[in-house]
Structure 1
Amino acid sequence: MGTVTALYRYPVKSMLGENVPSVTITERGVSGDRVHAVLDGSGAVGSAKHPGKWGDVLRCRSRLDDAGVVRVVLPDGTALSVEDPELSVRLCTLLGREVFVCAVVPEHVRLERAVPDYEGGVPAVLRKSAFVDETGERVTTGSVAPGTFFDFGRVHLVTTAALDRMRTVYPGGDFDARRFRPNLVVDAGDAPGFPEDAWLGARLRAGAALFRVVVPTPRCVIPTLGHDELPPDPGIMRAVARDHRIPVFDLGRLSCLGVYLDVLEAGTVRVGDVITLQESV
């Protein structure tokens, strides 16, 4: 059905991640993925979904070193371990307020999301409850997946077909997969458009790991932001909103690209591994 063309993990939530040749899949998801986050004293977890407050986190890069220690490279090139107290000091300076790096998910942590002005960026019910915060942005608040720093799904997959489709819709946009922060990028062969839409509920085998395809991935503002050398482009998500708004649970028709996966069987996935699809059982 296809092959894995790229693998990514993001050891610190909302920081740039690392492109790796293989990943270990556990029941939790990709080993080493979103194991830390930046938090502030209000209980907000650092997410570039609210760029006015947390956008500078995306200017940092996180990676695992050979000993399995998470290291963060700051915008000025300084590399520090997450265990180094200096890292929180530097992040406070970067963000202009008191923050800290944490590996333990607080009980009442919350996630803030900016509300875009196009339809499909957030569920209508959340748009109605949005408010303007101290940054001047309209935001909504919600929770993370229980016991984790994930927004919802443990593993995120994007197909090259979906990215190719969006390039035809918005030729001026750079639909680099990194904008969408996937764990797996899959080449589904000659399948047109958004082949992953037809996979919902099915089981997907990648290397030694087995997943269930759970739900389309609703997109926030993050793909429109600058990622490393990729410049900001607000047209990216406007194009997705025009071309691919589809039902997500009972939340209405949302702008989606990619799918979230649950882990059924742990195992190693490598670039080049064949992807096979099994009907839902």
Structure 2
Amino acid sequence: MSGSSAVSDMTNGKLASPSRYLLPSDKPESERLNLQNRVLKKAFGNVVFAPFTFSSDDAVLDVGAGTACWTLDCHDAFRTAHYYGIDITSDLFPILDVDLKSRIHLTEGNILRLQGEWADRSYTLVNQRLLIAALSAENWKTAINNIYKVLAPGGWVQFVETNHCRSGDVTDRHHVILRHTFEKRGLLFECAEKIPALLHDAGFVEINSMIYEINLGSWAGQDGIEARDTFIGVYKAMKYPVVDVMGIMSSPDFDSLIEQMQKEWDSTPGSKIVFHVLYARKSASP
């Protein structure tokens, strides 16, 4: 849903390079990620959730940066800090002007491997958003431990994740298929619920968790339409691994299910997608 995480099932750049990652790395995905960012920013009302005050010496890391939309928003709000974004592919990175390049540094990198110039720095804030479609349970443990290593004492990490929508019977049926897809792919479907324990085990303190709900469907006006288009787009983009790689269902059945779910969201007031926002601090003292 955001950025990507490690041998492609497709050879022409359609599926972002990891063997597990379920989403593509192409122009439609770039457009969807930017729309998703607008939807989330409007729903959350903020881009930084930790009680963090920026200074000119701060270095901020965005893991799975994708189109760098979060990094750019954060930079617009807090221009004094220096920003670093990593992703395993640079396919979605935007072209930055000279001024932005002096403060925003985008590079290929993988949070599962502390390699490269980005890994030699110390950060006061690390952001990781919507990598549910990229990381296994063991990957999550490694990622959080590595984030702890690159954080400065007293620094903060924040995560945004989701794993379910609430609407009607069609959405429930899709949820079962989605869970099966993730499990068959070796991904941690319930990562949002597991992150607090992983943060604790890694040594983080002041662990906080919040839940946000975003309305889905035309019943909720333009905001609901944009949210619907964003997340229907996510599920449509998973067609290749679901149908062609894993053979979980046929192409016509997949298309029909997504179409029915979109109609259900539009016609069912109260349809929502649930997000978990989590943040924690690295202790200032050993």
| TM-score, length-scaled by structure 2 | 0.28
Give the structure with the larger strand fraction.
Answer: 1
Give the structure with the larger helix fraction.
Answer: 2
